[in-house]
A and B are shown apart, each in its own frame.
Chain A
Amino acid sequence: MNAIEVRDLVKTYGSGETAVHALKHIDMDVAEGELLMLMGASGSGKTTLVSIIGCILSATSGSCKIHGVETVGLAQSRLPKIRLDNIGFIFQAFNLFPALTAQENVEIALDLKGVRGSSAKARAAELLERVGLGEKLRTYPADLSGGQKQRVAIARSLAGEPRIILADEPTAALDSVSGRVVMDLLQELAREQGRAIVVVTHDNRIFDYADRIVHIEDGRITNSVAGNMPMENPRAMQASTRIKRES
């Protein structure tokens, strides 16, 4: 089953002669268990596409389904719930809360889901343990390395048990060793837990982690190639065939 289905998606800023067409009739699917990398130059439309998939930005037209639920045209007030239930975000700059410890950073995501108190603490500790930071529960972001911060961000993104994770340049600020640790984690989330992972990246050190690499240019998908696609994930293979190459 596809976790994400994008059809004929258009995003235009402004109108008339000054209109900027950020996305031009995008079609793209991402299967459960697939790790897809989205590539393109600055201003190509990657962030806009991820923002629309992440229900942060509204599309001008077209369709974007998250686990079968149409999000284009949905009332703004309903979008936070869809994000909360389905999507985890990982940011290039980590976006951790500097005033909170690693454990509290994860707890805040649980708080959004209504999990509080001792159960939130235990769950946050468990998630940080899973990303190898069991010893850093009470450490503030300022005292963590870049790789550790990104792992806290991954733990936080997992707090709501999302089936989709959107990662924006997750390794850009990391050295190669830390970058691989982060990508190992993301790959594990896709392979072992069946989560759909979309990674926006320029980092050619991590291409071998991709099941599929999609190139976007001037708001259009120009190329879609299979990456290190595992044979045991045929749904990802099927999804890739749906991508229409546009000239």
Chain B
Amino acid sequence: MASLAIKNLFHEKVRLVVTLTGIVFSIILTAVQLGIFLGFIDASTDLIGNSRADLWIVSRGITHVEQGVAFPESKLYEVRAVEGVESARKHLVSLGAQAKKPDGSDEGVTMVGFDLDGGMGGPWNITQGSVQDLEQPDAVMVDELYAENKLGVTHIGQVIEVNARRARVVGFTRGVRIFTSQPAIFTSFKNGLSYLNLKEDQSYYIVVRAAESVDLQELKTRIGEKLTDVEVLTRDELVFRQGVYWIFGTGAGITVLVAAVLAIIVGVVIVAQTIYAATVDHIREYGTLKAMGATNGYLYRIIITQAVLSGLIAYVIGIVVSLAISRVSLEGTLAIIVNWRLAVALFLLTIAMCCTASIVAIRKATSIDPAMVFRG
């Protein structure tokens, strides 16, 4: 039985190539589109997800962190007084800054001002320089992916202007992507206040690290009871809110989402059609087997074995190509993220689709017209 399934699959090389090409194409299409979607989510939420803060205190009603609304720093002291808070720091994230490139043109940037001693909200994947270098006046850190293209920055020590103030590059990160393509500029909280023209006693956010073994939801409630006009959100809650805003609240997000959904649908249809056609090509053989006394179960096993084998071979090829595309994309600003979860999901989807499509085709084999078997 397995022998027939395997030999049927490999006997006609052209048919095998056509079948595998269809499935491989579907896998790559789905992987790349979903990878772009995942990359979009990461690029829109990484400033929160990588903040290492357990809780974020934000102005009531904000939909995304770039929409920061200033509140007085007195709230910081109220937060610090809450039992279970290990550390609380002021924090800035804002799209309201413009960098002037060496050629005189302007570029919007995402300004991130963080407390250098707090260990929260700072840069990650630092390739040159260090957080301590940001203690210097006017010191900033930018990402290599955007540095030259967006800011005209090529080396440490280069000076640019941000909101008409001097900014000296003291370090680089790699892979801090911002989906709006306004590159992140990390600086100290104090410098951030200057660049954003805020008063010394203002802050957009307070980031909180909970003491060890403190229940985050309880801490969140306790802080919320003390403060007015602000919301207290866990990091995951803010990531979710941020993701929802950029995905559903903007045309760009919807476009990426629709493209991903369409890719899944197109991929599923191609896989189904390919496997169905490959199965129906052998329908006469299945009819013969049935006439010879094969049970429907016997036919199911042959057909599903062929479908799963096709799916497995195509999956391996498809996922290797997708991982290669993903790897190349990580060298640029548009990240296509093919992680293990996506790889597993695609594997299950591929095998499920191959089996489902073949089962639909099986119905033709099991309800076969006897005249078809008998006629030449």
Contacts and interface: CB of A to CB of B under 8 A. Distances in A.
A8 interface: no
B290 interface: yes
A112 B374 contact: no
Contact of B4 (A83, A108, A173): A108
Contacts of A54: 291, 370
A57 B374 CA distance: 12
Contacts of B371: 47, 51
Given A97-B4, A99-B4, A56 B375 contact: no
A111 B1 CA distance: 7
Contacts of A47: 370-371, 374-375
A56 B290 contact: yes
B292 A84 contact: yes
A93 interface: yes
Contact of A112 (B3, B292, B296, B373): B292
Interface residues of B, number: 26
Contacts of A112: 289, 292-294, 298
Contacts, number: 86
A92 interface: yes
B297 to A, nearest CB: 9
B291 A92 contact: no
Interface in A102-116: 104, 107-109, 111-112
A98 B277 CA distance: 18
Contacts of A111: 1
A90 to B, nearest CB: 10
A122 interface: no
B344 to A, nearest CB: 33
A160 B376 contact: no
Contact of B370 (A57, A84, A85): A57
B11 interface: yes
Interface residues of A, number: 36
Interface in A23-73: 47-48, 50-51, 54, 56-57
Contacts of B291: 54, 56, 83, 89
B7 interface: yes
Given A93-B375, A112-B293, A172-B376, A56 B370 contact: yes
Contact of A83 (B292, B298, B376): B292
Contact of B374 (A80, A91, A99): A91
A84 B375 contact: no
Given A83-B292, A84-B292, A51 B374 contact: yes
A109 B375 CA distance: 20
A23 to B, nearest CB: 13
Contacts of A107: 3
A57 B368 CA distance: 10
Interface string B133-173: 00000000000000000000000000000000000000000
A77 B298 CA distance: 13
Nearest to A99: B11
Nearest to A168: B374
Interface string A127-138: 000000000000
Given A56-B290, A83-B292, A160-B293, A92 B4 contact: no
A12 interface: no
Contacts of A93: 375-376
Contacts of B289: 108, 112
Contacts of A139: none
Q: Which of A48, A89, A160 has the most CB of B within 10 A?
A: A89
Interface in B8-62: 8, 10-12
A95 interface: yes
Interface string B205-222: 000000000000000000
B181 interface: no
A5 interface: no
A217 to B, nearest CB: 18
Contacts of A84: 292-293
A56 B3 CA distance: 25
Q: Which of B10, B12, B288 has the most CB of A within 10 A?
A: B288
A169 B375 CA distance: 9
B284 interface: yes
5 contacts: A47-B375, A80-B295, A91-B288, A108-B289, A168-B375
Lowest 9 CB-CB distances: which A-B pairs, in order? A84-B293, A99-B11, A93-B376, A51-B370, A99-B7, A83-B293, A56-B370, A95-B288, A92-B376
Given A84-B293, A91-B376, A97-B288, 16 more contacts: A47-B375, A48-B370, A51-B371, A54-B370, A56-B291, A89-B373, A93-B375, A97-B4, A99-B4, A99-B8, A99-B10, A104-B7, A108-B3, A109-B292, A156-B292, A168-B375
Interface of A: 47-48, 50-51, 54, 56-57, 77, 80-81, 83-85, 87, 89, 91-93, 95, 97-100, 104, 107-109, 111-112, 156, 160, 168-169, 172-173, 200
